Amino acid sequence: MAAIAISINMDVPVDIIRETIRKFKAVPHRIEYVETINDVIYYNDSKGTNTDASIKAIEAMSRPTILIAGG
């Protein structure tokens, strides 16, 4: 959101901002969409290597979420 605000403030055309967002590839292993199977959506958040990062990832979900963790 900050990057969008800065871009607008610097008079970057909105269509360029929109296209850039559309093409953006998420950082691997950070709430990365994996697949949907039987209406269950799977995400890979293996970069969430500490408790706070994992909690933030769960809070970012818009649906009920089950954490599968290993170690």
Print pLDDT tens along the chain (71 aa).
Answer: 899 999 999 999 999 999 999 998 878 888 888 999 999 999 998 887 888 988 998 999 998 998 888 76
Pairing assessment for the beta strands 32-37 and 40-44 based on DSSP bridges: antiparallel
Query: Dihedral of CA 11/15/19/22: which sign?
Result: positive
Do 35 and 20 lie in one domain? The reply is no
Do 48 and 64 lie in one domain? The reply is yes
Do 35 and 21 lie in one domain? The reply is no
How much is the pTM?
0.59
Do 36 and 21 lie in one domain? The reply is no
Do 43 and 11 lie in one domain? The reply is no
The number of folded domains in the chain is: 2
Do 59 and 45 lie in one domain? The reply is yes
3-state helix, strand and coil shares in percent for the chain, rounded to the nearest 5: 40, 15, 45
Do 13 and 39 lie in one domain? The reply is no
Range(s) of the domain holding residue 50: 31-71
